[in-house]
Amino acid sequence: MLRTRRISGPHIEDYYFIDFSFCRVDAPIFFDYAYLELHLLFLQRETATHERWQRLCRSLVGLKDTRTVENALLDQDDHGLLWTVGMIRAAIFGWINQRFPNRLEDLKKQVLLARIAAGLNLANKRSLAGDTALSNKKKVFSFRYAATAAKELFDYCKLPVKDDGPIARSENEIPAPSGNAWREV
C-alpha cells in the first residue's frame, strides 16, 4: 500500500492498493509496482518469441511515462502495452518528485533494484504456469527482465560491466537441473 500525501486523518483517496492479500504498511513499495509491471507484460506477451521479449525489455529501458513510448517502440503492436507500463512508471516518478524531490537519484536506483528483484523472484518460482514449457519460458523471460533492469542500473550508476563472460541463450528448452551442483550457483 502506498500513501500519497500527508494530511490530517486518513482518506481513501490518499492510498493506492497494489496487492490486497499481502498488503503491509512497512513493505518496500517499488517491488509491488515492478511485480505488477512484469505481470502485465506476461499477460500480453507470454507467447512472444525470446527475441521479441528481449526487444520489449529493451524498449522499457529509460521509459518513465507515456510521452516517451514513441521513442522506445520497436514493435508497433507493443504500443498499448508500453503506454500502460509508462503510465505506471509515471505514477511512481510523480510520487517520487512530489514527496522526495531531492532524492530522485537514490529512489531511481531503488526502482531499478525492485525490477531486478521482481524478475529474479519470478524466475525462481517453482512454477509460473500449468504447462511446464510455458512455465520455463516465463522464468527465462523473468530473468531477462531482471537482467535488462540490472544493465540499466549499471549504466545509470556508470559501473562497468564485463562483456567477456558466457552468453546466455535460450533457443532450446532449458534442461531441468539434476543433482545438487546447481545449488552452489
Burial of 25 (0-12, 13-18, 19+ CB in 10 A): exposed
Read off the DSSP letter of residue 16.
Answer: E
8-29 pLDDT, tens per residue? 556 665 555 555 566 566 666 7
Q: What is the pLDDT of residues 64-123, one digit of tens each?
A: 766 665 554 567 788 888 888 988 899 889 989 998 999 999 999 999 999 999 999 999
Q: pTM here?
A: 0.76
Cα dihedral 158, 161, 163, 164, rounded to 10, equals: 140
Whole-number CA gyration radius for the chain:
18
